Amino acid sequence: MKINIIGSGSIGSGVMSASYLIDDHILVDVPNGVIKYLKHLNYDILHIDTILITHLHGDHFFDLPFLMLGKYFNHDKTLMKVICPYGTVRKLKYLFRLGFPYDFRKVMNSINIEFIEHKSRSHTQLGEYLIESRNVKHGKIKPAFGYVVHKEGKKVGFSGDSKYCPSIDKIVEDSDVSILDMSLKAEGNNSHMGYLDIKDICNKYKEKTIIASHMHNSAREVALNNPISNLIIPSENYEINL
Ligand SMILES: [Zn+2]
C-alpha cells in the first residue's frame, strides 16, 4: 500500500490542508484547493475512485464539487464511491447552490457517484480494501470519523480531526502506520491533539510509526525542533510504502 501525504497543514498554515492519497486512487478528505493542488503535483484526478471523508468541516470536504465537476467536464463515467458522514449530500447540494446554481442535478445525472453516508462505526469492503470507520471526538462536530484501511494484511490509520480519546489509541493499536491530528504545539484541546499528546502516543506505542498532520506552523516547528524517533513530520507529498 502506497500512501502519499498530499497535505499536512491546518487551515492557517502555508501547507496544503490534511489530505492523503492511497495507491493513487483513494483520497482521504477533500480540503478546499486540493483538486487543483493534485493537478499541480501531476496526479490524474480521474484515477480517484474512492473518497473517505472524516467530517464536515470545509477544510475536509469543500473541494468535492470541484472533483465532481472535473469528472463531469471529462465525461468520466467511472464509479466513484464516497464514504462519508451522515448529512454529506445535503451539505453538498447547498455548496452547489451557492457556487454553481442549477448544476447539482446535471452533474449528478452525468457522473457515476455513490454516497455511503453513515453515523457510526462501519465496515465497507471495496475490492481488495477493507475500510473501517471509527467515531472520534472533534468538539461539537458529530459524527466525526477516523478510518483504518486494510489491504493485504497491512493497515494504515487516520485520526481525522480529534482530541485524544480511546478511539485514537485503538486506531494506533490496529494500524502499522497512523496519520494523526497534531494541530497544536503543546497540549491538545476539545477538538484537536497537540504535540504533547502525540509525544505520549509515540512513547506508549514505540513500535508504531506515527505521522503528524493538520499542523499549525507552530506545531510543525516545535516537532521539527524536538524530534521523536517514531514520529514523522512530513514534507510536501511525503510518500510511505507498507
Ligand atoms: Zn475539523
pLDDT tens digit sequence for 157-196:
999 999 999 999 999 999 999 999 999 999 999 999 999 9
Class level of CATH domain 2-241? alpha beta
- Averaged pLDDT of the chain: 97
Ligand 1 centre from 209 Cα, in Å? 23
Report in angstroms the alpha-carbon separations of 123 from 14, 39, 225, 226: 35, 31, 39, 37
Q: Distance (Å, rounded) from C-alpha 112 to C-alpha 48?
A: 12
* pLDDT tens sequence across 53-79: 999 999 999 999 999 999 999 999 999
Sheet holding 122-126, edge to edge: 122-126, 129-135, 145-151, 154-158, 177-181, 209-213, 231-232
Residues with CB under 5 A from ligand 1 (ion): 57, 161
Q: Are strands 177-181 and 209-213 parallel, antiparallel or unpaired?
A: parallel
Report the separation in Å between the CA atom of 60 and the middle of ligand 1, taken as the mean of its atom positions. Answer: 7
User: What pLDDT is attached to residue 206?
Assistant: 97
Of 120-124, 145-149, 189-193, 238-242, which gets the smallest average pLDDT?
120-124
Q: What are phi and psi of 4, to 5 degrees?
A: -110, 130
pLDDT at residue number 23: 98
Instruction: Read off the pLDDT of each residue in 33-60 and give the average, rounded to a whole number.
Output: 97
**Interval 67-110: pLDDT, tens:** 999 999 999 999 999 999 999 999 999 999 999 999 999 999 99
Ligand 1 centroid to Cα of residue 199, in Å, is: 21
Confidence category of residue 200, pLDDT binned at 50, 70, 90: very high
What is the per-residue pLDDT for 114? 98
Q: How far is the CA of 85 from the centre of ligand 1 (A)?
A: 13
The pTM (predicted TM-score) of the whole model is: 0.97
